Amino acid sequence: MVKDEATDAFVPFDFDLIEKNIPELARLNFDLSVHSFTPIIDSSDMTPAIWLDMAKLIKRHYDDYDGFVILHGSDTMAFSASALSFMLEGLQKPVILSGSQLPIGEVRTDARENLITALDLASAKKNGKSLIHEVCIYFDNKLFRGNRSFKYNSAKFEAFRSPNYPVLVEAGVHLKYNEAALLDNSGQDFILHTELDNSVSVLKLYPGISAQAVRAILESDTRSVIMETFGAGNTTTAPWFLDMLRDAIRQGKNVLNISQCKVGSVELGRYETSKYLKEMGVLNGYDMTFEAAVTKLIYLQGQFKSQSEVAYWMEKSIRGELTATP
Protein backbone atom coordinates (compact mmCIF):
# COMPACT_ATOMS: atom_id res chain seq x y z
CA MET A 1 0.00 0.00 0.00
CA VAL A 2 0.92 3.67 -0.46
CA LYS A 3 -0.88 6.75 0.78
CA ASP A 4 -3.05 8.52 -1.79
CA GLU A 5 -2.31 12.21 -1.34
CA ALA A 6 -5.73 13.23 -2.60
CA THR A 7 -7.75 11.08 -0.20
CA ASP A 8 -5.18 10.33 2.54
CA ALA A 9 -6.24 6.68 2.27
CA PHE A 10 -3.98 3.69 1.64
CA VAL A 11 -4.29 2.24 -1.88
CA PRO A 12 -2.61 -0.61 -3.82
CA PHE A 13 0.37 0.10 -6.07
CA ASP A 14 2.54 -1.69 -8.62
CA PHE A 15 6.02 -3.20 -8.32
CA ASP A 16 7.87 -0.21 -9.74
CA LEU A 17 7.28 1.57 -6.43
CA ILE A 18 8.69 -1.41 -4.52
CA GLU A 19 11.96 -1.22 -6.44
CA LYS A 20 12.07 2.51 -5.79
CA ASN A 21 11.50 2.08 -2.03
CA ILE A 22 13.69 -1.00 -1.58
CA PRO A 23 16.90 -0.26 -3.49
CA GLU A 24 18.52 -3.24 -1.73
CA LEU A 25 16.77 -5.50 -4.24
CA ALA A 26 19.32 -4.45 -6.85
CA ARG A 27 22.08 -5.90 -4.65
CA LEU A 28 20.53 -9.36 -4.39
CA ASN A 29 22.14 -12.04 -6.50
CA PHE A 30 18.79 -13.17 -7.87
CA ASP A 31 17.32 -13.17 -11.35
CA LEU A 32 13.93 -11.66 -10.52
CA SER A 33 10.96 -11.63 -12.83
CA VAL A 34 7.90 -9.64 -11.83
CA HIS A 35 4.24 -10.07 -12.70
CA SER A 36 1.64 -7.53 -11.61
CA PHE A 37 -2.01 -8.48 -11.72
CA THR A 38 -4.49 -6.11 -13.34
CA PRO A 39 -6.26 -4.56 -11.63
CA ILE A 40 -4.23 -4.40 -8.43
CA ILE A 41 -6.63 -4.93 -5.53
CA ASP A 42 -6.94 -4.58 -1.80
CA SER A 43 -6.75 -8.09 -0.34
CA SER A 44 -10.22 -7.66 1.18
CA ASP A 45 -11.48 -8.03 -2.41
CA MET A 46 -9.83 -11.46 -2.80
CA THR A 47 -11.89 -14.15 -4.59
CA PRO A 48 -11.46 -17.78 -5.64
CA ALA A 49 -11.11 -16.57 -9.23
CA ILE A 50 -7.95 -14.67 -8.24
CA TRP A 51 -6.59 -17.73 -6.41
CA LEU A 52 -7.05 -19.54 -9.69
CA ASP A 53 -5.16 -16.84 -11.59
CA MET A 54 -2.25 -17.05 -9.13
CA ALA A 55 -2.16 -20.85 -9.23
CA LYS A 56 -2.23 -20.94 -13.04
CA LEU A 57 0.61 -18.41 -13.19
CA ILE A 58 2.74 -20.59 -10.92
CA LYS A 59 1.92 -23.68 -12.97
CA ARG A 60 2.76 -21.92 -16.23
CA HIS A 61 6.21 -20.85 -14.97
CA TYR A 62 6.87 -23.73 -12.59
CA ASP A 63 9.90 -25.04 -14.49
CA ASP A 64 11.37 -21.58 -15.09
CA TYR A 65 12.08 -20.53 -11.49
CA ASP A 66 13.48 -21.86 -8.22
CA GLY A 67 10.67 -20.34 -6.18
CA PHE A 68 7.79 -17.88 -6.09
CA VAL A 69 7.04 -14.93 -3.81
CA ILE A 70 3.54 -13.46 -3.77
CA LEU A 71 3.11 -9.96 -2.37
CA HIS A 72 -0.30 -9.91 -0.73
CA GLY A 73 -2.29 -7.80 1.68
CA SER A 74 -2.24 -9.29 5.16
CA ASP A 75 -6.01 -9.28 5.77
CA THR A 76 -6.79 -12.35 3.61
CA MET A 77 -3.26 -13.69 3.21
CA ALA A 78 -3.96 -16.84 5.27
CA PHE A 79 -7.00 -17.64 3.12
CA SER A 80 -4.95 -17.33 -0.08
CA ALA A 81 -2.04 -19.34 1.33
CA SER A 82 -4.41 -22.10 2.43
CA ALA A 83 -6.25 -22.16 -0.89
CA LEU A 84 -3.04 -22.32 -2.90
CA SER A 85 -1.73 -25.14 -0.71
CA PHE A 86 -4.69 -27.29 -1.76
CA MET A 87 -4.68 -26.25 -5.41
CA LEU A 88 -0.94 -26.87 -5.89
CA GLU A 89 -0.51 -30.57 -5.15
CA GLY A 90 2.97 -32.09 -4.96
CA LEU A 91 4.88 -28.79 -4.82
CA GLN A 92 8.64 -29.25 -4.78
CA LYS A 93 9.43 -25.54 -4.79
CA PRO A 94 8.52 -22.77 -2.35
CA VAL A 95 5.53 -20.48 -2.78
CA ILE A 96 5.89 -17.76 -0.15
CA LEU A 97 3.31 -15.09 0.58
CA SER A 98 4.45 -11.94 2.31
CA GLY A 99 3.55 -8.30 2.76
CA SER A 100 3.71 -5.70 5.47
CA GLN A 101 1.79 -4.01 8.24
CA LEU A 102 3.12 -0.53 7.46
CA PRO A 103 2.93 0.75 3.87
CA ILE A 104 6.17 0.58 1.94
CA GLY A 105 6.62 4.35 1.77
CA GLU A 106 6.65 4.70 5.57
CA VAL A 107 10.02 5.18 7.27
CA ARG A 108 9.47 2.29 9.71
CA THR A 109 7.91 -0.09 7.20
CA ASP A 110 8.38 -3.82 7.73
CA ALA A 111 8.07 -4.41 3.99
CA ARG A 112 11.82 -4.34 3.33
CA GLU A 113 12.82 -7.15 5.66
CA ASN A 114 9.77 -9.24 4.86
CA LEU A 115 10.33 -9.10 1.10
CA ILE A 116 14.09 -9.55 1.13
CA THR A 117 13.97 -12.55 3.47
CA ALA A 118 11.03 -14.08 1.59
CA LEU A 119 13.12 -13.92 -1.59
CA ASP A 120 16.08 -15.45 0.26
CA LEU A 121 13.91 -18.34 1.50
CA ALA A 122 12.37 -18.85 -1.94
CA SER A 123 15.85 -19.39 -3.36
CA ALA A 124 17.15 -21.69 -0.59
CA LYS A 125 18.47 -25.06 -1.72
CA LYS A 126 20.11 -28.12 -0.23
CA ASN A 127 22.06 -30.52 -2.40
CA GLY A 128 20.79 -28.67 -5.45
CA LYS A 129 17.12 -29.01 -4.53
CA SER A 130 14.68 -26.55 -2.98
CA LEU A 131 14.52 -26.78 0.81
CA ILE A 132 10.88 -25.73 0.95
CA HIS A 133 8.16 -27.78 -0.78
CA GLU A 134 5.04 -25.95 0.29
CA VAL A 135 2.98 -22.77 0.41
CA CYS A 136 4.11 -20.56 3.30
CA ILE A 137 3.65 -17.17 4.90
CA TYR A 138 6.71 -15.14 5.87
CA PHE A 139 6.12 -12.32 8.32
CA ASP A 140 8.12 -10.69 11.11
CA ASN A 141 11.11 -13.03 11.09
CA LYS A 142 9.09 -16.25 10.92
CA LEU A 143 8.09 -18.62 8.15
CA PHE A 144 4.81 -20.45 8.76
CA ARG A 145 3.00 -23.23 6.93
CA GLY A 146 0.37 -21.31 5.02
CA ASN A 147 -2.58 -23.53 5.86
CA ARG A 148 -1.70 -23.50 9.57
CA SER A 149 -1.60 -19.72 9.89
CA PHE A 150 -4.03 -16.94 10.67
CA LYS A 151 -3.81 -13.19 11.12
CA TYR A 152 -4.27 -12.38 14.78
CA ASN A 153 -3.01 -8.82 15.15
CA SER A 154 -3.68 -5.72 13.07
CA ALA A 155 -1.50 -3.37 15.15
CA LYS A 156 1.87 -5.16 15.50
CA PHE A 157 4.47 -6.32 13.00
CA GLU A 158 3.92 -9.80 14.43
CA ALA A 159 0.69 -10.18 12.49
CA PHE A 160 0.49 -13.97 12.06
CA ARG A 161 0.58 -17.01 14.29
CA SER A 162 0.52 -20.77 13.88
CA PRO A 163 -0.16 -22.12 17.37
CA ASN A 164 -0.97 -25.70 16.35
CA TYR A 165 2.11 -26.25 14.16
CA PRO A 166 5.77 -25.30 14.65
CA VAL A 167 7.43 -22.36 12.93
CA LEU A 168 9.26 -23.59 9.82
CA VAL A 169 12.08 -21.03 9.80
CA GLU A 170 13.18 -18.32 12.23
CA ALA A 171 15.16 -15.46 10.76
CA GLY A 172 17.82 -13.84 12.91
CA VAL A 173 21.46 -13.28 12.12
CA HIS A 174 21.13 -16.70 10.46
CA LEU A 175 18.12 -18.53 9.04
CA LYS A 176 17.26 -21.34 11.44
CA TYR A 177 15.36 -24.09 9.60
CA ASN A 178 13.12 -26.57 11.41
CA GLU A 179 13.66 -29.21 8.73
CA ALA A 180 11.65 -31.85 10.61
CA ALA A 181 8.55 -29.65 10.28
CA LEU A 182 8.89 -29.03 6.53
CA LEU A 183 6.83 -30.98 4.02
CA ASP A 184 8.83 -33.26 1.73
CA ASN A 185 7.08 -33.87 -1.58
CA SER A 186 10.08 -35.44 -3.27
CA GLY A 187 9.07 -37.86 -5.99
CA GLN A 188 5.50 -36.58 -6.25
CA ASP A 189 3.98 -35.23 -9.43
CA PHE A 190 3.14 -31.53 -9.40
CA ILE A 191 -0.57 -31.16 -10.17
CA LEU A 192 -2.64 -28.01 -10.53
CA HIS A 193 -6.27 -28.32 -9.41
CA THR A 194 -8.53 -25.71 -10.97
CA GLU A 195 -12.05 -26.79 -9.98
CA LEU A 196 -13.42 -24.88 -6.99
CA ASP A 197 -16.88 -24.79 -5.42
CA ASN A 198 -17.50 -22.09 -2.81
CA SER A 199 -20.89 -23.44 -1.72
CA VAL A 200 -20.01 -23.10 1.98
CA SER A 201 -21.77 -21.36 4.87
CA VAL A 202 -20.66 -20.67 8.44
CA LEU A 203 -22.52 -21.14 11.71
CA LYS A 204 -20.76 -19.48 14.64
CA LEU A 205 -22.31 -20.48 17.93
CA TYR A 206 -22.86 -18.22 20.93
CA PRO A 207 -24.87 -18.58 24.12
CA GLY A 208 -28.47 -17.65 23.40
CA ILE A 209 -28.32 -18.19 19.64
CA SER A 210 -31.85 -18.41 18.31
CA ALA A 211 -33.51 -21.21 16.38
CA GLN A 212 -34.25 -18.70 13.63
CA ALA A 213 -30.56 -17.83 13.23
CA VAL A 214 -29.48 -21.48 13.19
CA ARG A 215 -32.20 -22.43 10.71
CA ALA A 216 -31.18 -19.63 8.34
CA ILE A 217 -27.66 -21.10 8.08
CA LEU A 218 -28.48 -24.81 8.09
CA GLU A 219 -31.24 -24.40 5.50
CA SER A 220 -29.19 -22.14 3.23
CA ASP A 221 -28.51 -23.39 -0.28
CA THR A 222 -24.96 -24.62 0.33
CA ARG A 223 -23.29 -28.02 0.26
CA SER A 224 -21.43 -27.66 3.55
CA VAL A 225 -21.63 -25.79 6.84
CA ILE A 226 -18.63 -24.93 8.99
CA MET A 227 -19.81 -24.90 12.60
CA GLU A 228 -17.58 -22.92 14.96
CA THR A 229 -18.10 -24.50 18.36
CA PHE A 230 -16.95 -23.97 21.95
CA GLY A 231 -13.77 -25.41 23.45
CA ALA A 232 -12.98 -28.92 22.26
CA GLY A 233 -15.95 -28.99 19.90
CA ASN A 234 -18.93 -28.56 22.19
CA THR A 235 -22.37 -27.13 21.46
CA THR A 236 -25.65 -26.64 23.22
CA THR A 237 -27.59 -29.87 23.73
CA ALA A 238 -30.96 -28.19 23.30
CA PRO A 239 -33.21 -30.69 21.47
CA TRP A 240 -34.27 -28.15 18.82
CA PHE A 241 -30.63 -27.49 17.95
CA LEU A 242 -29.63 -31.16 17.69
CA ASP A 243 -32.76 -31.90 15.63
CA MET A 244 -31.86 -29.14 13.16
CA LEU A 245 -28.35 -30.54 12.77
CA ARG A 246 -29.67 -34.06 12.19
CA ASP A 247 -32.09 -32.79 9.57
CA ALA A 248 -29.36 -30.90 7.72
CA ILE A 249 -27.12 -33.98 7.65
CA ARG A 250 -29.99 -36.25 6.55
CA GLN A 251 -30.64 -33.84 3.68
CA GLY A 252 -27.06 -34.29 2.46
CA LYS A 253 -25.19 -31.37 3.99
CA ASN A 254 -21.72 -31.84 5.41
CA VAL A 255 -21.39 -30.16 8.81
CA LEU A 256 -17.78 -29.58 9.88
CA ASN A 257 -16.93 -28.90 13.53
CA ILE A 258 -14.02 -26.54 14.22
CA SER A 259 -13.32 -24.79 17.50
CA GLN A 260 -13.58 -21.08 18.16
CA CYS A 261 -10.38 -21.51 20.19
CA LYS A 262 -7.19 -20.72 18.28
CA VAL A 263 -5.12 -23.29 20.18
CA GLY A 264 -6.02 -26.96 20.56
CA SER A 265 -8.22 -29.42 18.70
CA VAL A 266 -11.81 -30.57 18.39
CA GLU A 267 -12.29 -33.84 20.29
CA LEU A 268 -15.71 -35.14 19.35
CA GLY A 269 -17.16 -37.34 22.09
CA ARG A 270 -14.78 -36.24 24.83
CA TYR A 271 -17.61 -34.38 26.56
CA GLU A 272 -21.27 -35.33 26.62
CA THR A 273 -22.10 -32.12 24.79
CA SER A 274 -20.19 -33.30 21.70
CA LYS A 275 -21.11 -37.00 21.95
CA TYR A 276 -24.38 -36.33 20.16
CA LEU A 277 -22.58 -34.57 17.32
CA LYS A 278 -20.31 -37.52 16.69
CA GLU A 279 -23.24 -39.94 16.70
CA MET A 280 -25.22 -37.95 14.10
CA GLY A 281 -22.27 -37.65 11.68
CA VAL A 282 -20.84 -34.19 12.27
CA LEU A 283 -17.33 -34.08 10.78
CA ASN A 284 -14.27 -33.50 12.96
CA GLY A 285 -12.15 -30.53 11.89
CA TYR A 286 -9.50 -31.32 14.52
CA ASP A 287 -7.07 -28.36 14.77
CA MET A 288 -7.71 -26.76 11.38
CA THR A 289 -7.78 -23.01 11.20
CA PHE A 290 -10.96 -21.38 9.97
CA GLU A 291 -9.07 -20.26 6.85
CA ALA A 292 -7.94 -23.82 6.09
CA ALA A 293 -11.41 -25.24 6.73
CA VAL A 294 -13.08 -22.81 4.32
CA THR A 295 -10.57 -23.21 1.52
CA LYS A 296 -10.28 -26.98 1.91
CA LEU A 297 -14.04 -27.33 1.53
CA ILE A 298 -13.99 -25.06 -1.53
CA TYR A 299 -11.20 -27.19 -3.00
CA LEU A 300 -12.70 -30.61 -2.19
CA GLN A 301 -16.17 -29.65 -3.37
CA GLY A 302 -14.59 -28.69 -6.68
CA GLN A 303 -12.92 -32.09 -6.94
CA PHE A 304 -15.82 -34.30 -5.85
CA LYS A 305 -19.52 -34.24 -6.61
CA SER A 306 -20.04 -36.88 -3.91
CA GLN A 307 -20.66 -35.43 -0.46
CA SER A 308 -19.32 -38.60 1.14
CA GLU A 309 -15.97 -38.20 -0.63
CA VAL A 310 -15.74 -34.58 0.49
CA ALA A 311 -16.55 -35.71 4.04
CA TYR A 312 -13.90 -38.45 3.95
CA TRP A 313 -11.08 -36.15 2.86
CA MET A 314 -12.08 -33.32 5.19
CA GLU A 315 -11.03 -35.47 8.14
CA LYS A 316 -7.71 -36.47 6.51
CA SER A 317 -4.56 -34.37 6.30
CA ILE A 318 -3.80 -33.83 2.62
CA ARG A 319 -1.36 -30.88 2.73
CA GLY A 320 -0.30 -30.90 6.37
CA GLU A 321 -3.26 -28.74 7.38
CA LEU A 322 -4.43 -30.77 10.37
CA THR A 323 -3.28 -33.16 13.05
CA ALA A 324 -5.78 -35.96 13.58
CA THR A 325 -6.07 -37.24 17.13
CA PRO A 326 -7.40 -40.68 18.16
Residue ending a domain, choose from 192, 209, 229: 192
Number of domains in the chain: 2
Give the pLDDT of residue 271.
79
pTM: predicted TM-score of the whole model, two decimal places: 0.92
Domain CATH number, residue 35: 3.40.50.1170
In sequence order, the 6+-apart residues with CB closer than 8 A to the CB of 40 are 12, 13, 14
Asked whether residue 113 is domain-assigned, the answer is yes
Q: From residue 5, give the alpha-carbon distance in Å to each of 18, 37, 107, 109, 305.
A: 18, 23, 17, 18, 50
135 bridge partner residues: 95
Has residue 84 got a pLDDT over 80? Answer: yes
pLDDT in tens, 49-62: 999 999 999 999 99
pLDDT in tens, 132-163: 999 999 998 999 999 999 999 887 878 899 99
Residues 142 and 249 in one domain: no
Has residue 239 got a pLDDT over 70? Answer: yes
Residues 61 and 155 in one domain: yes
Give the pLDDT of residue 204.
98
Least confident of 80-84, 264-268, 270-274: 270-274
Structural domain harbouring 210 = 200-314
Residues 186 and 204 in one domain: no
Residues 47 and 185 in one domain: yes
Residues 113 and 163 in one domain: yes
Residues 175 and 142 in one domain: yes
The more confidently predicted of residues 217 and 7 is 217
Of all helices (H) and strands (E), which one includes residue 115? helix 111-122
- Using alpha carbons, select from 83, 85, 89, 97 the residue that is nearest to residue 48: 83
Domain CATH number, residue 233: 3.40.50.40
Residues 175 and 33 in one domain: yes
Residue ending a domain, choose from 144, 160, 192: 192
Has residue 111 got a pLDDT over 80? Answer: no
Has residue 131 got a pLDDT over 90? Answer: yes
Please give the sequence-ordered ranges of beta strands (E in DSSP) within the chain, or none if there are none. 2-3, 10-11, 68-71, 88-89, 95-98, 125-126, 129-130, 135-139, 142-145, 150-151, 160-161, 169-171, 175-177, 191-192, 200-204, 224-229, 254-259, 283-284
